[in-house]
Amino acid sequence: PIARSDMKGEVQRCIDAGVSHLHVDVFDGVYLDSPYALTFGPQMVGAIKKRFAEHPELVLDIHLCVDRPARYATAMADSGASRIIFMFEAMSLDEAVKLAQTITSLGMKCGVSINPDTSISEIYPLLETGLVDLVDILAVEPGFGGQKFNPVSEQKIKDLRQWREEQQSKNGIDVQILVDGGINAKTIRRVVQAGADICVVGTAIFQHKDGFSDALKELMDRRNTGREQK
């Protein structure tokens, strides 16, 4: 299991294994109403960025599951975040566009995340602005690790992949498709076949019975098989 008292060591373990992205879930205990849903803030993001400055290739994706996410944009930019991913359901469409403008104006990339119950078509107007370069499709309810994969995400991935292909040929708009939650050796091939570009994995590697390295190798092998079968 992950050693929460040794964040430096855990990040180093990821880097040593060849991980290129760190997905940092930021919960404030308000957006998800639970005293246990309180994780990291800008100080932790800044500490990671400073400690691993010799790895400029390391992407820090900050997933904001917070009340009033716009409050955190400048602080996360100052801390060295590469990208902010915000919850689409936390605001209106107009507010989402304004937040995306703020994030990109601060020099970061911008992503948007949607819950399992949200239709993928609801975010198309936001994507059409060209401000968002990544869509985080949640395959579990936002909150805690170890949840079971929700297969509804597979159709969303397929639909977004088709929309992306149409937009690329029409106006050059492009987004990466990220799937988040419930990813393991059984589900990673399915989501990659559906069209996912990036998979967020937590429990399946940090709590694997054979250890971190073996778990990551198994996942990479299954991912590559999925790509070949697209």
What would the pLDDT profile of 121-172 be if each residue is shown by its tens digit?
Answer: 999 999 999 999 999 999 988 766 667 888 899 999 999 999 999 999 999 9
Q: Of 16, 180, 210, 214, which is the active-site residue? A: 180
pLDDT digits 0-9 by tens, 27-45: 999 988 888 889 989 999 9
| Band of pLDDT at residue 10, cut at 50, 70 and 90 | confident
Q: Of 25, 28, 61, 136, which is the active-site residue? A: 25
Task: Give the H or E element holding residue 39.
Answer: none
Residue 113: both structure tokens together: 């995340």
Q: Clarify whether 78 is annotated catalytic.
A: no
pTM exceeding the 0.85 threshold for the entire prediction: yes
Lowest mean pLDDT across 14-28, 79-93, 127-141: 14-28
Lowest mean pLDDT across 14-28, 40-54, 129-143, 212-226: 212-226
Cβ-based neighbour number of residue 101 at 10 Å: 13
Residue with tokens 């119950």: 117
Average model confidence (pLDDT) across the chain: 91
How high is the pLDDT of residue 13?
86
Q: Are 157 and 188 in contact (CB under 8 A)?
A: no
Torsion of CA 46, 135, 230, 145, to 10 degrees: 60
CA 185 vs CA 8, 15, 147: distances in Å = 26, 21, 14
Q: Clarify whether 67 is annotated catalytic.
A: no
